[in-house]
Amino acid sequence: MQTLTITQPDDMHLHLRDGDALRAVLPFTARQMGRAVIMPNLKPPVVSVADALAYKQRIITALPEGSTFEPLMTLYLTDKATPELVREAKAAGIVAFKLYPAGATTNSDSGVTDLFKLLPVLHEIAAQDMRFLVHGEVTDSDIDIFDREAAFIERVMKPVLAQVPNLKVVFEHITTAEAARLVLEAGDNVAATVTPQHLLLNRNDLLVGGVHPHHYCLPVLKRESHRQALVAAVTGEKAHKFFLGTDSAPHAQSAKENACGCAGMFSAATAVELYAEIFEQAGALDKLEAFASQNGARFYGLPFNTRKITLVKQPQRIPNSIPYGEGKLIPMRAGGNTEWSVQY
């Protein structure tokens, strides 16, 4: 039986929610990952150092007994952010600030309305050697939803990188050939996370045969040529600039399957297995460990995890649903199989 042993991965983009939802989903990530960069778009958002430290303690309290999982905390960037806040965050061990353009995705109403007014904050983030995490979409009503990422690159990302050239940027959950090209052509201060859904699925999986609400995420799935460009990027010559970030985002089944279904896909239960499929299909299984376990740690200036995990080429059935508070959570590829299993 084919096996693959790799350094324990890190999830560099993860939503854990809070309360009962946190307790429902955290064990899946803690079982697979050594660390995760925790997204701050709670209700209310994590905007202060005190917010982040309190949230971190709730995560630690919810961990299964004996877990060594480490949450890496971030702050939600708002129009009120200051250089002083950046220095306070650095001193408290917070690793990054997260940009949500106002109205771009789940719980982004408090997001930034004009990033260029926050250039002093971005300069301080660079000076403190923190990371700047970018949800890269414009929200203008005149821009097609499938073009929001490409427009953001031209209108915001390139001008910001020109004005703050030493800013260490993670272009989060990239979905387009344009985003991959930007990262590939930029300096080593620019990297990207890539999700399993954007490497496995295209917009046909969302729209053909009826709308599939559990495939709705933001940024939205794109056409097949973009998916292929992402696979080429994470397995190509500059693959060190890309790393694992699931953007696993739990939502109750009732919230996904309604007239205003919310955006997000829950992949944490089988994240490593799904990525193994992707890299095997691309003939690049030998590059999975770097993508999952090394590139992100290196970009954040962290040591590699010391533990190992072993993948076995053996089908694993994904449950139809997972208990989620008083409701249910529908995981990515619910009721189907992964081609690989993690040996626990």
- 41 annotated to a ligand binding site: yes
In whole angstroms, give the CA distance from residue 278 to residue 274: 7
189 annotated to a ligand binding site? no
Q: Say if residue 167 carries a ligand binding annotation.
A: no
Query: Which residues have a Cβ under 8 Å from the Cβ of 60 and sit 6 or more positions away?
Result: 71
Active site residue 140: no
Q: Degrees (nearest 5) of the Cα angle 171, 116, 41?
A: 50
Q: Tell me the CA distances in angstroms from 38 to 56, 63, 128, 215, 296, one per residue in order.
A: 9, 14, 19, 22, 14
Catalytic residue among 51, 129, 140, 247: 247
CB 202 within 8 A of CB 223: yes
Q: How far apart (Å, rounded) are the C-alpha atoms in residues 174 and 75?
A: 20
Residue 256 assigned as binding residue: no
214 is in an annotated binding site: no
Is 321:299 a contact under the CB 8 Å cutoff?
no
Q: Is 98 annotated for ligand binding?
A: yes
Find out whether 107 is annotated in a ligand binding site.
no
Indicate the DSSP class of residue 92.
T
Q: Which residues pair with 326 in a beta bridge?
A: none
**Pairwise CA distance, residues 339 & 161, whole Å:** 40
Q: Any known ligand binding at 307?
A: no
* H/E element, 7: strand 3-7
Q: Binding site annotation covers 13? A: yes
- Whether residue 79 is annotated as binding a ligand: the answer is no
Residues known to be catalytic: 247
Task: Detail the residues annotated as belonging to a binding site for Zn(2+).
Answer: 13, 15, 98, 135, 173, 247
Task: Detail the residues annotated as belonging to a binding site.
Answer: 13, 15-17, 41, 98, 135, 173, 218, 247, 251, 263
Task: Detail the residues annotated as belonging to a binding site for substrate.
Answer: 15-17, 41, 135, 218, 251, 263
